[in-house]
Chains A and B, each alone.
Chain A
Amino acid sequence: MTHRIIYLDHSATTPVSASVLAAMMPYFSEHFGNASGIYSQGRRAKQALEEARATVASVLHCHDDEIIFTSCGSESDNMVLRGVAWTAPQTGRRRHLIISVVEHKAVIVTARQLAQLFDFDLTILPVDGYGRVDPDALRQAIRPDTILISIMAANNEVGTLQPIAELSAIARDHGIPFHTDAVQTPGHLPIDVDAWGVDALALSGHKFYGPKGVGVAYVRRGLGLLPAQTGGGHEGKRRAGTENVAGIVGLATALQEADELRPQEVPRLQALRDRLLAALPDLIPNTRISGHPQQRLPHHASFLFADIEIQGVLMGLDMAGIAASSGSACTSAAQAPSAVLTAMGVDASAAAGHLRLSLGRSTTAADIDTVLDVLPPLVARLRLIST
C-alpha cells in the first residue's frame, strides 16, 4: 500500500502553502477587526486589505482600484457578466453577448441565463480540434450591439491556451469590453492585463496555493459595472459584504509567491509533464493527447484512452494512491459527455476515456515514474472488460 498520496489534480485545487497559511493566521483572532472600523484593529485590517490589493495589482500590472476581491472565480465571472450586461439600459441598449463553447460553467450558465430570462442575444463561438477559438469567427460574430465578449485564457479540462491578445485586440478595435476567465493561469503564465488587452479578468485563490473562498475580479477603470451584490460600500461600492481579510491576505501572498516561483516551476513542471505526454501514448495503445500539444498550460497533461470508461481508471489510480480526475467538474457518476470535448469534435465514446493529470509543486520525477508504472497495466486490465 502506498502511504504518500501522489496528488495530480492541481487544476482542481491546490494545498495552501506554508507561507500563505502563516501570512493568514494573524488575521483570524489577533487582527480580527472589521476593515470599516476606525479603531486600531479596524485600521490594521484595512491596511492588510489595501496591501493585499496593491500586491495583486502589481502582479497583474494594473491599478489598485481595479482589483475587486470576491468569494471565488465563479463569483468574479458572474460579477463581470451580469454587471456589464445590466448596464445595457445605460449603454445604448446593447443586448448581444459573445462567449466561447469551452468556457467554464460560471460563464456559460450565467450567459445562458441572461439570454433566456433577460432577453440577451448570445453567440457561442466554436473551437477547433485543439479547443481554440478562431479569431476570424470572433470577428464575424461581433455586432453593433455587442456589449461583452468573454473568452477564457486557458482551459481547465484540456489545458489549451487561447490567443487572448489577438482576440482582445479584435474586441478593442470594435470598442467592446473583453473579459477573460484566467483562473487556471497564475503561476503558469505571466499575467499582464495590458499585454493581454483585457478589460476584466477572474482569478480564484485556491488554484495557486491560496485558500478556498476568495477570488479576484480585475475590472479596468472606465468599464461600467452594475454591482450584482449590493449593500455596504465595500470594494469601491462594487461588491458589498465585510471583507474576508485573512482570505484576501492569503490570496495576495499566494499570487505573489506563485509569480515569483514561476520562472523555476514552469520549466520543471513542463519537463515532467512532457514525459507524460511523450510516454503514455506509447505505453498505452489507442491513446491520444487532448488539447493542444504545445499551446497548453505547462503543468497540464490530458489524454483520451479509447475503449474505456475513465471512472474505473480513476478508482484504480486512487487505490494506488494517485489522485487524478477526468477534467470535467462532474460531482457524480452521472455521465454526460464533456461539452468541451464534444465541441472539439470528440465523440461521446472517446470522451468517456478522458484523463487529466495536472502537476504541481509537490510533483517529483519519481511520481511520474510511478504513474508510468501504474497506469498502462491498469488501463489494459480495465479494457478487457467489455461493456
Chain B
Amino acid sequence: MTSAFSLQLDLVPGKSPAETTVVVAMSGGVDSSVVAARLVDAGYRVIGVMMRLWSEEAPGQSRENRCCTIESTNDARRIAAQLGIPFYLINVEQIFRRNVVDYFIAAYSSGRTPNPCVACNRTIRFDHLLKVALALGADYLATGHYARVRATPQGFELWRGIDTHKDQSYVLSVLNQQTLPHLCFPVGDLTKPQVRRLAADYGLDVASKAESMDLCFIADGDYRRFLQDWAAEAIQPGPIRHIDGRILGEHQGLPFYTIGQRKGLGLSSPEKLFVLHLEPETNTVVVGAAACLGQDHLRAQQVNWVAGTAPPTPYDCTVKIRYRSLDHAATVTPLPGQQADVQFHHPLRDIAPGQTAVFYDGERCLGGGEII
C-alpha cells in the first residue's frame, strides 16, 4: 500500500529497513496503530508491545488502569495480528507504582500539582521500556506521540508535532541526546485527520477509539477520591488565611486547591478572593484579591536540556507552564544545579508548583523542568 505521506526515519547506518527492528508502544488507539502500520508498510521489522501499568485494586474488586484495559489490550493485540507482527505485554506495575503513583501522591501531599505523564515518560516509557527494547536488540522505540525528531550535525532535536492542536512535545521535554537517537514518532509529521484517514486506508478498525487518559491509574478519573482512598493522611483540613493575615475559614485539604482558583472556597466575603498559594509547612491556603494574583517569574528545578547543554544566557524564548497552556514570551536564565530562572514578559495567573515549564524556540522544544 502506498501512503500519501512519507515516513521519515533515519536508518541505522548500514542497515536496511528489513534489518532494522522497531519496537512500537501500542495502546490499541488510532495513533499507535497507524505508527505500527506505517512502519510495517515501510518494511521495518516491527514488534508491538503494551505496558501493563499499575491500577487501583481493592478487596473484592479490581479496577483497570484506563490506559491498558482488557478491551484496549485486545484491540492492540488484534491490530498486531492484523499487521502480522508479534505483540507482547510488558509488566511495569511495580516501577509505575514507585515512580509515578507514589510521586503523584507525594506531590499533592506537599502542595504541588503533579504531572504524572511527564513522570511516566521520564521513568517508564522512555527509560525502562526503551532499555527493554534495546536489550532485546531493537534499534528504535516508536510511539504515537505528536512530535518530531530531527537529526542535525549538532545533535538530535525535538520539534513540535505538525498538528498544533495535538502537539505533545510538552510531555516529551524529558528526552535527551541519549534517548532521542533511538526514538521515532511516525505520526508527528501528520495531522490527526490525516492519521484517521491513514487508519482507514490501512483498514485498521480503530476509528472510534478514545484518546489515552491523563490520569490513567485513577479508575474513575477523580483525583480527590483517589487521594482520599490512597493518601488519606495527606488530606488534613486547615486554615484559609487572607494575605493580610486574617483567618477566613477552613479548607478541606491542600490537594483540593490550585493557584488562581476562585470557586469552591466556601468563604463569604465582600471581596472576590482567589487562591494565591499553598503553604504545606503550615497546611494553609492563602487567598487574596485578583490584584495580588499573578507572577511574572518562576524557578524550575531538575531542568532537562534536550541538546545536553544549556543555551547561552539569558535566552529569549517561549514557555508553556501546563500541557494545554499557550506559549508565553519569557527570558530563561540557566542556573547551576539543573535549575533555571524564567522571567515572563507579562505576569501569569496560573503558575502551579509541580507542573512542568517547557521552553521552546519556535517549533523546537529546548527542554523543561519542574516549577518550584
Contacts and interface: CB of A to CB of B under 8 A. Distances in A.
Contact of A319 (B47, B93, B94, B131): B47
A384 B45 CA distance: 24
A37 interface: no
B370 to A, nearest CB: 23
B232 interface: no
B136 interface: yes
A64 interface: no
B91 A387 contact: no
A334 B52 CA distance: 8
Interface stretch (A3-11, A147-155, A307-315): A307-315
A319 B91 contact: no
A50 B240 CA distance: 86
B11 interface: no
B91 A316 contact: no
A385 B132 contact: yes
A334 B94 CA distance: 11
Contacts of A387: 94-95, 128
Interface string B78-89: 000000001011
B159 to A, nearest CB: 29
Interface in A311-365: 311-312, 315-316, 318-319, 332-335
A131 to B, nearest CB: 25
Among B89, B93, B132, B135, the most chain A Cβ lie within 10 Å of the Cβ of B135
Interface in B135-181: 135-137
Contact of B136 (A319, A333, A334): A319
B200 interface: no
B225 to A, nearest CB: 24
A19 B242 CA distance: 88
B165 to A, nearest CB: 34
**Central interface residue in A1, A315, A334, A385, by most chain B CB within 10 Å:** A315
Contacts of B137: 316, 319
A381 B135 contact: yes
A332 B89 contact: yes
Nearest to B89: A333
A333 B128 contact: no
A382 interface: yes
B91 A311 contact: yes
B127 to A, nearest CB: 9
Nearest to A379: B135
A319 B86 contact: yes
Contact of B88 (A1, A315, A335, A385): A315
B91 A309 contact: yes
Q: Chain B binding site: helix, strand, loop or mixed by DSSP?
A: mixed
B335 interface: no
A312 B93 contact: no
A334 B132 contact: no
Interface residues of A, number: 18
A88 B77 CA distance: 47
A316 B136 contact: yes
B343 to A, nearest CB: 39
Given A319-B137, A333-B89, A333-B91, A312 B132 contact: yes
Given A319-B136, A382-B135, A384-B135, A335 B86 contact: no
A143 B297 CA distance: 78
A5 to B, nearest CB: 12
B349 to A, nearest CB: 41
B210 interface: no
Contact of B91 (A318, A334, A382): A334
Contact of B131 (A311, A318, A385): A385
A385 B128 contact: yes
Contacts of B132: 312, 382, 385
Nearest to B68: A333
A384 B130 CA distance: 13
B292 interface: no
Nearest to A309: B91
Nearest to A317: B136
B213 interface: no
Interface string B30-67: 00000000000000010100001000000000000000
A211 B136 CA distance: 34
Contact of B93 (A1, A316, A335): A335
A147 B94 CA distance: 43
A381 B131 CA distance: 9
Contacts of B94: 387
Nearest to B136: A316
B302 to A, nearest CB: 20
Given A385-B128, A387-B95, A333 B52 contact: yes
A315 to B, nearest CB: 5
Contacts of B131: 384-385
Interface centre among B21, B45, B94, B136 (most CB of A within 10 A): B136
Nearest to B88: A315
A235 B95 CA distance: 53
A9 to B, nearest CB: 16
B12 interface: no
Contact of B90 (A318, A319, A333, A381): A333
A311 B132 CA distance: 10
A312 B23 CA distance: 13
Contact of B135 (A312, A332, A333, A334): A312
Interface in B120-135: 128, 131-132, 135
Contacts of A1: 45
Contacts of A318: 86, 88
Interface in B95-112: 95
Interface in A357-387: 378, 381-382, 384-385, 387
Contacts of B135: 312, 316, 378, 381-382, 384-385
Interface of A: 1, 309, 311-312, 315-316, 318-319, 332-335, 378, 381-382, 384-385, 387
Given A312-B132, A385-B128, 14 more contacts: A309-B91, A311-B88, A311-B91, A312-B136, A315-B88, A315-B90, A319-B47, A332-B89, A335-B91, A335-B93, A378-B135, A381-B136, A385-B135, A387-B94
7 contacts: A311-B88, A311-B89, A316-B137, A332-B89, A333-B89, A334-B91, A378-B136
Closest 6 CB pairs of A and B: A333-B89, A381-B135, A333-B91, A385-B131, A333-B52, A316-B136
Interface of B: 21, 45, 47, 52, 86, 88-91, 93-95, 128, 131-132, 135-137
